[in-house]
Amino acid sequence: MAVDLPTATGSFGDEPTLSFPTEQAPTGLHVVVLEEGTGPIVGRGRQIEVNYHGQIWNGGLFDSSYQRGSTTSFPIGVGAVIAGWDEALVGKTVGSRLLISIPPEKGYGARGVPQAGIGGTDTLVFVVDVVGVK
């Protein structure tokens, strides 16, 4: 059964805008490769550099490295970030643009992040550009 996921404007490097197809988010983790990169593969435990846009399903923006004007980097696949990112980004290639829909249990869980406006039942949607890996 097909899952209705948001659409994202723009190409790799562009700040995206998301359009949501339904009020209700799908269950589970969903990853769509919007653009396939041709660079190195992101391996577990490596330092990854990304640009990202984070939005609550059918809700507001809660974080954007595009708006800050700088990428961010962190170790991937080792629990340094939310589980949805660890699962979605390992194995992808540098130069890829991904759309990731992350259910609460693979995001911030029941506690959410109130200071960012993220509730405990919110599904998070990210557009992530994989800029580099070390």
Domains of the chain, CATH where assigned: 28-133 (3.10.50.40)
Q: How many CA atoms does the CB half-sphere of 121 hold within 13 Å?
A: 2
Contact 6, 70 (CB under 8 A): no
**Structure confidence at residue 2 (pLDDT):** 78
d(Cα 105, Cα 111) in Å, to the nearest integer? 10
d(Cα 40, Cα 36) in Å, to the nearest integer? 12
d(Cα 81, Cα 79) in Å, to the nearest integer? 5
Q: Is the pTM of this model over 0.85?
A: yes
What pLDDT tens digit does each residue of the chain (134 aa) get? 679 999 999 999 999 999 999 999 999 999 999 999 999 999 999 999 999 999 999 999 999 999 999 999 999 999 999 999 999 999 999 999 999 999 999 999 999 999 999 999 999 999 999 999 99
Contacts of 22 (CB under 8 A, 6+ apart): 4, 58
Number of H helices, E strands in the chain: 2, 8
Is the four-CA dihedral 98, 91, 4, 57 of positive or negative sign? negative
